[in-house]
């Protein structure tokens, strides 16, 4: 790959598509993800007969509905799903055998999972609701669920970027929100420290302490640094280097 704008974005994308070991497959998926997610979804349903997909984020044009909203709309969280009621965006009617696959793209997302020292699922849901973006006073860009995890409760957050600058309210912390630009548009995302502090405060009101915070994914700045490193050193299979890179 040449050191072009597309090349930089492609290598950055490769950093997070690390499960596969075939370079051609990974590069095809990454290139599709940053150029045409609808084509990727179509290719999937054509390659694997019987599969279907729904679109979210930038792939869901022009609404650009988030993953959490799309999951709710198709009944993702229901224990018993009525597959006949699901209307896929791509492919045939969804079936129990194949389910339905979500395909989407967004400027940036990471996972910030804060564990609180309790097994009380109801309390975990109270904390999750309080910081969820859709709640009054919630943190912009944060989609969250409370999940039992190894004897404690995990407040599992998807932290997505939001367009524009960070909120001006002091309730969103004093730390500067990480920011970046794509195609002349500015984006930022909530820092992990703010999420941890908010969860700790809410849990403390119920006499519960936090046990720790785990981050999954690179910050935009770190992603760019690693992409430039891969390009400058001609590392075409950067996922093999990830064992020596800490997220």
Buried b (16+ CB within 10 A) or exposed e, 85-101: ebebbbbeebeeebebb
More confident position, 23 or 95: 95
pLDDT band at 90, cuts 50/70/90? very high
Tokens of 168: 């001006």
Q: What is the pTM of this model?
A: 0.70
Q: Tell me: the pLDDT tens digits for 130-183?
A: 999 989 989 999 999 999 988 999 999 999 888 888 777 666 767 888 888 877
Rounded Cα–Cα distance for residues 128 and 142 (Å): 10
Q: Tell me: the pLDDT tens digits for 108-117?
A: 888 899 999 9
pLDDT band at 3, cuts 50/70/90? very low
| Residues forming a β-bridge with 185 | 182
- What is the number of other CB atoms lying within 10 angstroms of the CB of residue 109? 19
Write the DSSP string, 98-147.
Answer: TB-EEEEE-S-EEEEEEEES---HHHHHHHHHHHSTTSTTPPTTEEEEEE
Percent of the chain with pLDDT over 70: 78
The whole-number pLDDT of residue 30 equals: 54
Rounded Cα–Cα distance for residues 160 and 107 (Å): 8
pLDDT band at 185, cuts 50/70/90? confident
The whole-number pLDDT of residue 14 equals: 43
């Amino acid at each position: 790959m040449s050191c072009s704008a597309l090349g930089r974005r492609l290598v950055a994308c490769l950093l997070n598509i690390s499960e596969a070991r075939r370079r051609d497959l990974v590069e095809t998926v990454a290139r599709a993800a940053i150029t045409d997610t609808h084509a990727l979804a179509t290719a999937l349903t054509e390659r694997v007969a019987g599969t279907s997909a729904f679109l979210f984020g930038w792939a869901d044009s022009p609404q650009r509905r988030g993953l959490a909203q799309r999951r709710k709309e198709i009944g993702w969280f229901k224990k018993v799903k009525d597959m006949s009621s699901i209307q896929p965006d791509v492919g045939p009617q969804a079936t129990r055998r194949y389910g339905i696959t979500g395909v989407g793209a967004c400027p940036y997302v990471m996972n910030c999972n804060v564990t609180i020292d309790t097994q009380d699922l109801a309390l975990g849901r109270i904390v999750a609701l309080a910081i969820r973006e859709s709640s009054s006073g919630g943190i912009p860009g944060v989609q969250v669920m409370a999940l039992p995890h190894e004897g404690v409760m995990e407040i599992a957050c998807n932290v997505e970027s939001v367009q524009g600058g960070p909120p001006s309210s002091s309730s969103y912390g004093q730390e500067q929100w990480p920011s970046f630009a794509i195609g002349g548009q500015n984006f930022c995302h909530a820092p992990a420290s703010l999420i941890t502090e908010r969860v700790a405060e809410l849990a403390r009101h119920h006499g519960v302490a936090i046990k720790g915070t785990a981050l999954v994914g690179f910050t935009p700045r770190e992603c760019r640094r690693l992409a430039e490193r891969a390009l400058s050193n001609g590392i075409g299979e950067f996922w093999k280097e990830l064992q020596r890179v800490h997220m």
